[in-house]
Chains A and B, each alone.
Chain A
């Protein structure tokens, strides 16, 4: 009779850049049970949002995560603006969309590199991250910073994109597209990559829905769902339709992100070409009224959900942040049981986990 063994996978593990633990029970190298354990870095940001004045929550919330920082700042300003509600200038909406897709581009390049690294393809990891540097450079040139942009304020944005910057962005994105295309072709068609990912960690459409998954994890299981369909910011004026793969395995989730990388570049090009003239911010006076609202944005890992409740003062009564990884984490309950122990890292990485977000 096979022996059952329970091992702690994390919180410190070479494949996990952040602390999370999976208590994995396995039998003959096959996983039979898993319990996810978080709480190694809980920061109490939701509570801190009640103690800050509302406009300072932007600086706090954009530090929930270093990779999807931009979407956190966009979400917190959208939620706060909706409490009034404020009428935001059209140019602001386009600028926010451009930076959001720029952030998605660097996040997906980061993930593609990490995913390649998870199954030992270290040179590809290096190449994806080399390309990502170019995207961080144009983020710095346009928004002012590479990682935490701090470009959003309640009522608008701090910076504009002028014609010279627009040309730099377009030229850089063309290079990023060309270089990424070469690498993605290798990733998608490589025999070894396929042998490690095709048919591994299969999650059906029904399972993904039942577990409340979001983002590329959900779309890799054939569900065409995306917060950008709600047409926030300028998405209603762009040619956008979610990218979907149907196999539900690690390979499908990888393909969704690889295709979204190019779609994000297309969306930036389209938004830049349609960028309207006008103001980039409006003046906001007083605190948000006693009201409640929800702001939803599509972060690189999936739908980011901000619930805000005002009380008529400059402090919010409540701010709730539901991050994509928090929604995707229950998926390990069905992805891991039945898989080989050696496939656990690839399975986990296929969810693009962000523990910093989860431990908000």
Chain B
């Protein structure tokens, strides 16, 4: 993948707004479980959707991160989804589904998180 710009979590709103103001469109965001941390990548497209730019930051699993929904409602569903499925602590969502956009009240919590590497090793799973 090309055009990955590493940022900090505090830069996501400003950097995202810069891209949107320059005519880019928000595409989606992807969360990856890096064992101790979460890696979050926001994808934006420009030039009739042909060119992609990615803003990427890494945060601890207990850290709060800002929401882009104050700038664009297009991130509303995916930020709620990352919050539910990965436990990403997104604050100031324009509409906060309270952990139940996709998951029911009796669903497993944060189902997309992987078992911690150390625990998996001790159980002989890896």
Give A contacts to B, CB under 8 Å: 35, 37-39, 42, 44, 46-47, 209-212, 224-227, 229-230, 242, 292-294, 303, 305, 307, 309, 317-318, 320, 322, 326-327, 329-330, 333, 359
Contacts and interface: CB of A to CB of B under 8 A. Distances in A.
Interface stretch (B6-14, B57-65, B97-105, B117-125): B97-105
Interface string B65-77: 0000000111111
Given A224-B48, A225-B48, A333 B73 contact: yes
B30 interface: yes
Interface of B: 1, 20, 23, 25-28, 30, 32, 43, 45, 48-50, 52, 72-78, 95, 97, 100-104, 111-112
Contacts of B75: 212
A39 to B, nearest CB: 4
Given A38-B101, A47-B112, A292 B27 contact: no
Contacts of B28: 305, 307, 320, 322, 326-327
A307 B4 CA distance: 14
Contacts of B112: 46-47
A350 to B, nearest CB: 18
A38 B76 CA distance: 13
A355 B29 CA distance: 19
Nearest to A225: B49
Chain A at the B interface: mostly helix, strand, loop or mixed? mixed
B114 to A, nearest CB: 8
A327 B74 contact: yes
Contacts of B77: 38, 326, 329-330
Contacts of B72: 210-212
A6 to B, nearest CB: 15
Contact of A293 (B1, B32, B97): B1
A211 B74 contact: yes
B49 A320 contact: no
B125 to A, nearest CB: 13
A293 B101 CA distance: 27
B103 A226 contact: no
B50 A320 contact: no
A172 to B, nearest CB: 32
Nearest to B108: A44
Given A39-B101, A46-B112, 15 more contacts: A35-B95, A39-B100, A39-B102, A39-B104, A225-B49, A229-B50, A293-B1, A294-B43, A305-B27, A320-B28, A320-B30, A326-B28, A327-B27, A327-B74, A329-B77
27 contacts: A35-B95, A38-B101, A39-B100, A47-B111, A47-B112, A209-B23, A210-B20, A211-B72, A211-B74, A212-B26, A212-B74, A224-B48, A227-B49, A229-B48, A229-B49, A229-B50, A292-B1, A303-B49, A307-B28, A309-B32, A320-B28, A322-B28, A326-B28, A327-B74, A329-B77, A330-B76, A330-B77
Given A38-B101, A39-B100, A327-B74, A209 B111 contact: no
A212 B102 contact: no
Contacts of B48: 224-226, 229, 242
B73 A330 contact: yes
A35 B101 CA distance: 11
A225 B52 CA distance: 13
A317 B33 CA distance: 9
Nearest to A305: B28
A42 B103 contact: yes
